[in-house]
Structure 1
Amino acid sequence: MEKKYSVAIYPSEEVIEAVKTMKDYLKSKINWYNSCNSTAHITICEFTVDDSQIDTYKQKLFKNCDRLIPVQVNLDHFGYYDNAGAFFIAPDEDSKNSLRLVMKKVQETLKPLNLKKSDDPHMSIGRKLAPENLKIASQLFTTIDIDFLCYSIVLRELDPVKKQFFVIDTFEFGNNPQPEFVQGSLF
Structure 2
Amino acid sequence: MQIEKKYSVAIYPSSDVIHAVRVMKNHLKSKIDWYNSCNSVAHITICEFTTTEAEVEKIKQRLFKICDTFSPFQVYLDHFSAYENGAFFIAPTADSTLQLKPIMKKTQEALKISNLKKSNDPHISIGRRLNPENLKIASQLFTTIDIDFVCDAIVLRELDPDKKQFFIIDTFTFNSNTQEEFVQGSLF
For normalisation by structure 2, the TM-score amounts to 0.93
* Structure 2 unmatched ranges of 5 or more: 181-188
Between the aligned partners of 1:178 and 1:8, the Cα distance in structure 2 is 25
Q: What residue ranges of structure 1 are gaps of 5+ in the alignment? A: 180-187
Counterparts of 1:144 and 1:119, CA distance in 2? 22
Q: How does 1:87-102 map to 2 (within 5 A)?
A: 87-102=88-103
Aligned-partner SS, 1:75: strand
CA shift for structure 1 position 52:
1.2
- Please state if 1:37 is matched with 2:39: yes
Aligned length: 178
RMSD (CA atoms)? 0.8
Deviations 1:144-177 (A, max 9, x none): 0000000001000001111100000000001112
Question: What's 2:165 paired with?
Answer: 164
Output one character per residue of 1:124-157: Cα deviation in whole Å (capped at 9) or x when no partner: 0000101100000000000000000000010000
Please tell me whether residue 56 in structure 1 is matched to residue 74 in structure 2. no
2:11 alignment partner in structure 1: 9
Letter in 2 for 1:139: Q
2:101 alignment partner, SS class = helix
Aligned partners of 1:6, 1:97: CA distance in 2, in Å?
22
**In structure 2, C-alpha distance between the alignment counterparts of 1:143 and 1:128, rounded to whole Å:** 22
Quick one: which amino acid aligns to residue 57 of structure 2?
D
Deviation at 1:110, TM superposition (A): 1.0
Alignment pair present for 1:173 and 2:174: yes
Q: CA deviation at 1:105?
A: 1.1
CA distance in 2, matches of 1:61, 1:15: 24
Moved over 4 A (4+): none
Give the C-alpha shift of residue 24 in structure 1.
Answer: 0.3
What is the TM-score of this pair, normalised by structure 1?
Answer: 0.93
> In 2, Cα distance between the equivalents of 1:69 and 1:100?
14
